[in-house]
Chains A and B, each alone.
Chain A
Amino acid sequence: MTEPRTSALSKRVLDEYAAVRDTLPAGVVSAERRQEAIQSVAAHGLPSSREENWRYSNLRPLERARFAPAGEPLAAGVSPAPGAAAVAGAAATTRSLPSPSELPAKLERFARYTFVDGVFAPELSSPTQGQAGLTVHSLRRATQGAGGRSVSKTVFQLPRTLPALRHLPEARLALLNEAFATDTAAIHVEDAAGEPVRVEVLFIAIAGAETGTSYPRVQVSLDPGSRLIMVERHIGASGGASFINSSVTVDVGRGAHLTHYRLQQAGARATWLDTLSAVLAADARYGLLTVNIGGLSARSTTHVQMAGPGAELTLSVAALGDRQQVQDNFALVEHIAPRARTEQTFRGITSGRARVGFNGKIVVRKAAAGTDSRQSLRGLLAGPEAEIDVRPQLEIYTDDVRCSHGATAGKLDDDMLFYLLSRGLSPEVAQRLLKWAFLEDVVSKIQLPELRRQIEHDLAGQMADAASLKELL
């Protein structure tokens, strides 16, 4: 089955892995697990756009990618010391850390953990003490020189998501991340009464693709009954051409609540790949809201397993594509246990020559009686050369389910546009206003006013039609 081109790529992945494996931190992922992962990738090959669930992705950058980790940038103002940037065999560079003022404003009452090119950057982090029940570790740092013994055992528990992840053909990129991982933000919440704990993980990609890949990695687990609000943000140097392959695993225990905001704002020329895999126990609640703005070629894979009865998932995605961007999203929700509920909302806008895709698949297994799932997927074409693909899929293996879906893809409403023009608004303002209104179904779900303002600001910036167009051409 494997075609020559793919196998050549697989071979290169193996070679690159072999060259750097001894430098990869075993405290982050053990050598055995890395080996397993890389073999699995080699056996199955990397995804190709000939595959059904990848057909809207732009995977060409994979062919040119350097898979070895980009490595650690230097602290600002520090001159390169021998071996300082040599983690994972990356070429020595003069990359330096951004100053804290260049980062997005810190959210009040949130602990912030910042990772640069996939490696924890304590200088740019501000862990908040005193959030009861919350433990956050950089696995790389926590295990350095201690052989892993200094970190509490819970951090190393293999999240239950991982076995599921390994069996999903869409998770091959996450396996690649596992093989090359340079660090992990390991977040654990113990049962704690009162206010939910709050964490922001901020990933910054600085290295260019020629230096290597950036591997953001997050592992979240919530004990039964615990509550966490997590903000996961990915940013890049403006115009940066990084190659990013992110992996997030989420384990929401019985009756626990996780509110998870994700903002993908990679650099304008970056390749962005990400895999999120989550498992929900009984009566767990998971609110996942993703805003995809950045990158030139972006592909986001989400896999959520409704493993416990009565689990609830709200999955909301807003994606904006402009210029030559490709924003592809695949979201698979698997109902295994009975009486779980899913609400999926997608709003995507394309303009310029961009392509945005959302493939929302819901599978209801035999034991999942009483499943209630709703999908509302809408795409807006805001330019004659733009493309949008919105696709709901349902696979149901039991009776007694309520599944509804609505999917539309269309242009800006002419009547709405004319109404605004007839009130004196310029066509540019009118269009922007209507695009804005279109995203409202997702944006209005952001419960944190401060974050909502930031995201609205970022969305507005993205829509302020292409001041940076020249920079790209």
Chain B
Amino acid sequence: MLKIDNLHVKVDGKEILKGLTLDVPTGEVHAVMGPNGSGKSTLANVLAGRPGYEITAGSVTYQGRDLLALAPEERAREGVFLGFQYPVEIPGVNNVYLLKAAVNAARKHRGLEEVDAFEFLTLVKEKMRLMRMEESMLTRGVNEGFSGGEKKRNEVLQMLVLEPRLTILDETDSGLDIDALKIVANGVNTLRSPERSLVLVTHYQRLLDYIVPDHVHVLVKGRIARSGDKSLALELERRGYDWVTGEAA
């Protein structure tokens, strides 16, 4: 699904990713963990195509295509979804409008007709119940006045409605209490399938109790310093990042 090979990325002239290599096969869930400043969010943003990141070397292949050659909106229409660490508030653009515009953009890209408004609303409401969101949120501005937890739930709601092939969740667990974390994890788990892949970018092991990864990678100073199965996350939790950063140094 996703192949990242020797990726080097600069931000404001400073190299953040320094030869990152990562292979996420179809149907798998990979967790990318790492201390602050290791390049986790840079990785997530580069995959989604955020401007301001200079790719100096390496490649990213998504379903056999050069992902980096695609504009952000093309990536989205091809089935790449980024769940933001800090979802932005957009007053005046309502949630349901954005959801519909997003779904229709992807459908148009695939040569399909626009979604039926009534069926669409029924579907969205069903997903909202799963995410324990109030229906009144639909007609509010995107994330407008939402709490931190509500914003993260809204990200997962969008993911559920868009049904991406590749999802990257950037610290979706940060700022969530345990109940919200369970709701978010439950939402994400419903989308797990042999056709989809998921990259969970996180600082803490906690999320991985609820979304159990197939592989865990530790990112240190812009490279994968260590990879393993889910037990690696538990070991990190026990021994702290110093254990890996010490080795990597």
Contact = CB atoms under 8 A, between A and B. Distances in A.
Contact of B102 (A413, A424, A427, A440): A424
Contact of A422 (B82, B92, B109, B141): B82
Contacts of B109: 424
Contacts of A439: 92
A415 B109 CA distance: 24
B243 to A, nearest CB: 34
A156 interface: no
B177 to A, nearest CB: 25
Interface of B: 48-51, 71-73, 75-77, 81-82, 84, 87-88, 90-93, 97-98, 101-102, 105-106, 109, 141-142, 158, 162
A434 interface: yes
A436 B50 CA distance: 23
Contacts of B162: 423-424
B73 A424 contact: yes
Contact of A437 (B72, B81, B87, B90): B90
A427 to B, nearest CB: 7
A438 B102 contact: no
A426 B50 CA distance: 14
Given A414-B51, A433-B93, A437-B141, A423 B76 contact: yes
Contact of B72 (A415, A416, A421, A433): A421
Interface string A411-450: 0011110111111111101100110111111000000000
Contacts of A427: 71, 73
Nearest to B71: A421
B101 A434 contact: no
4 cross-chain pairs, A with B, having the tightest CB-CB distances, nearest first: A437-B92, A424-B76, A440-B92, A424-B105
A53 B142 CA distance: 39
Contacts of A416: 88, 90
Contacts of B84: 419, 422
B140 to A, nearest CB: 12
A413 B145 CA distance: 18
Most central of A419, A427, A438, A441 by chain B CB within 10 Å: A419
Given A422-B82, A423-B98, A437-B93, 17 more contacts: A414-B51, A419-B142, A420-B90, A421-B71, A421-B72, A421-B73, A422-B50, A422-B73, A424-B102, A425-B98, A425-B101, A425-B102, A425-B105, A427-B73, A430-B73, A437-B90, A437-B91
A422 B77 CA distance: 9
B98 A420 contact: yes
Contacts of A423: 76, 98, 101-102, 105, 158, 162
Interface string A252-284: 000000000000000000000000000000000
Contact of A418 (B72, B97, B102): B72
A426 B76 CA distance: 10
Contacts of B158: 423
14 contacts: A416-B90, A418-B50, A419-B84, A420-B93, A422-B48, A422-B72, A422-B73, A423-B158, A424-B162, A429-B101, A429-B105, A433-B101, A437-B92, A440-B92
A424 B162 CA distance: 10
A349 B86 CA distance: 27
A425 B105 CA distance: 6
Nearest to B79: A424
A414 B90 CA distance: 12
B88 A419 contact: yes
Contacts of B101: 423-425, 429, 433
A419 B92 contact: no
Interface in A147-168: none
A408 to B, nearest CB: 14
A260 B82 CA distance: 46
A440 B90 CA distance: 11
A45 to B, nearest CB: 43
A434 B72 contact: no
A415 B88 contact: yes
Nearest to A419: B88
Nearest to A438: B92
Contacts of B87: 419
Contact of B88 (A413, A424, A438): A413
A425 B141 contact: no
A424 B141 CA distance: 18
Contacts of A413: 88
A429 B73 CA distance: 11
A235 B73 CA distance: 38
Contacts of B97: 433
